[in-house]
């Protein structure tokens, strides 16, 4: 009985929350890698089953995190922060996957330079997101996390600039109306994913500050 009580009171064995965060970060990277490859290959080669499996895995990790929360009374960081980090990671993955499926559904075969830039910037942001998530195991090291956050600020600013330039170009009159509709949605999805990466890095730094 004492063992059961202690398992409820002590933080999850093996710091399970951090394990879940890191698994989600890896799925973020894998999803972004697929998106990047689209620029170099035929959109028809995209494995939809693989994409859907990543989405299923991401949802399962979020559920796993909630189960850990329900089974644990005391956590290393605030419970609401655990839930926020988990749900935001899932949102990043879903937004990236939505971008991939939109490209496939719309049969977009000619990629603009703006789209290429957007995807490269998102790839950089996801790389930094993975970095800060893995550093978050030592969440009291605000100095380390803040350095990554500062780099993320620069990436997010670059992303905004490319996004606005892309929209300006899109509505310049040089595109077919159907292409405008398609590309606008793709641009928006990538921008949303980038915003979520930046937001989550800010959340992680704020959580760190609360515990220092």
As averages over each run of 10 residues, the pLDDT of the chain (212 residues) reads 44 71 97 88 75 95 92 86 97 96 84 93 98 94 96 97 97 92 96 98 96 84
Q: Say if 7 falls within a structural domain.
A: no
Query: What pTM, to 2 d.p., does this model score?
Result: 0.90
Q: Please tell me the distance from the alpha carbon of residue 195 to that of residue 153, in angstroms, as a whole number.
A: 10
- The H or E element that residue 196 is part of is helix 177-210
Q: Say if 27 falls within a structural domain.
A: yes
Q: Say if 58 falls within a structural domain.
A: yes
Q: Please tell me the distance from the alpha carbon of residue 181 to that of residue 137, in angstroms, as a whole number.
A: 42
Compute the CA torsion angle 158, 163, 169, 171 (nearest 10 deg): -160
- The H or E element that residue 153 is part of is helix 142-170
Q: Which domain holds residue 110?
A: 14-210
Structural domain count, the chain: 1
pLDDT tens by residue, 42-77: 666 678 889 999 999 999 999 999 998 888 877 889
Residue 142 sits in a domain whose CATH number is 1.20.58.220
Q: Say if 3 falls within a structural domain.
A: no
Q: Say if 5 falls within a structural domain.
A: no
């Amino acid at each position: 009985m004492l063992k059961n009580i202690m398992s409820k009171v002590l933080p999850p064995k093996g710091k399970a929350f951090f394990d879940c965060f890191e698994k989600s970060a890896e799925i973020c990277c894998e999803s972004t890698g697929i998106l990047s490859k689209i620029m170099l290959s035929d959109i028809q080669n995209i494995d939809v089953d693989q994409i859907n499996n990543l989405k299923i895995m991401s949802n399962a990790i979020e559920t796993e995190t909630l189960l850990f929360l329900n089974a644990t009374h005391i956590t290393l960081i605030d419970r609401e922060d655990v839930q926020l980090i988990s749900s935001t990671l899932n949102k990043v993955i879903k937004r990236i996957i939505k971008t991939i499926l939109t490209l496939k559904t719309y049969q977009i075969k000619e990629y603009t330079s703006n789209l290429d830039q957007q995807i490269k910037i998102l790839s950089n942001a996801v790389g930094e997101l993975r970095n800060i998530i893995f550093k978050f195991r030592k969440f009291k090291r605000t100095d380390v996390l803040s350095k990554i956050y500062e780099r993320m600020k620069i990436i997010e600013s670059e992303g905004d600039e490319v996004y606005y330039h892309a929209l300006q170009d899109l509505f310049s009159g040089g595109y077919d109306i159907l292409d405008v509709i398609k590309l606008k949605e793709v641009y928006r999805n990538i921008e949303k994913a980038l915003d979520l990466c930046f937001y989550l890095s800010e959340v992680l730094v704020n959580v760190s500050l609360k515990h220092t």
